[in-house]
Amino acid sequence: MAEAPSEETHTPDAAAEDAWTYARRDRSRRNGPVRRAFRVVRRNVLSPAVPMLVPPALRGLARTWRVTIDGDDLRARVLEGPGGCVAVLWHGRMAAAATIFRHVDATILVSASGDGDLADTLLSALGYRTLRGSTGKIGVESLRELRQRLDAGGVVALTPDGPRGPRHRVNPGAAILARATGRPILPIGFAVERAKHLTSWDRFTIPRPFSRVRVAFGDPIEVPRARCAVDLQSVSDEVRASLMGAETRAFGALGREVDW
């Protein structure tokens, strides 16, 4: 029988030392020679190849998916209506989202980070309009441009857990944008019958050929302009619960367990 750990290993100082050591090792791994070499290859080789190879492959793949959209009234009234909305979906569902934004005048907010460069290139090649900025803290210039696009009746789509997670943790960007523009937040959940999940932090979902894809909407969430910062957190919590609920319903309609 193994000995119980001593009290000394559970002291706050020991825990802090362990956390510091883990963080140092994690930084070392992220900045090691292999990771640095991969970033160079991604920047110089993979990124230029994305607009040539991925968009036609994704469009061809998407044509094989069997898509069912629940809530046609919401789609017509909010997503495709004249007033515009702030559409939110999980970062890992962006490939499946090609099924819902294909015929919508959508602007997608993409991170200004280096990781966002690849997403911006890919989305632009797929024919989407993009705007670079943070989904967690929307700047004045980005907010002004997003408001103009919403005023023109377009849709602004963002991933509230992007660009780097943690997965399914909602940052306040959607609530801030909805409060500033008076447009509702529309949560959109996706369920996939058969999919390839990448090992990235968001477990990026790529539906397999001929897979069934189910799309479900949450109820629109209105954010009054008077809401304070504390209330915006409750809005973010509501967005998260709505997204999780929409995906739970969508997976249930497919007869599948959720893939979280």
Residue 48: predicted pLDDT: 67
Strand partners, 186: 87
Stretch 235-253: mean pLDDT, rounded? 96
- Do residues 107 and 156 touch, judged by C-beta distance below 8 A? yes
Could you give the strand order of the β-sheet that contains 185-192, starting from the edge strand earlier in sequence? 66-69, 212-217, 185-192, 85-88, 155-158, 106-110, 129-132
Assigned CATH topology for domain 64-254 = Cobalt-precorrin-4 Transmethylase; domain 1 (3.40.1010)
Whole-number pLDDT of residue 32: 67
Please compute the mean of the pLDDT values over residues 226-249 and round it to a whole number. 91
pLDDT tens per residue across span 58-87: 888 989 999 999 987 777 778 877 778 999
Q: Please check the confidence at residue 184 and state whether its pLDDT lies above 90.
A: yes
Comparing CA positions, the residue from 214, 259, 258, 205 lying closest to residue 92 is 205
pLDDT digits (tens, 9 = 90+) for 99-127: 777 778 888 888 776 666 767 777 777 77
pTM confidence score: 0.77
pLDDT confidence bin for 9, thresholds 50/70/90: very low
- Please report, for the chain, the start and end positions of each structural domain, with discontinuous segments joined by +: 9-63, 64-254
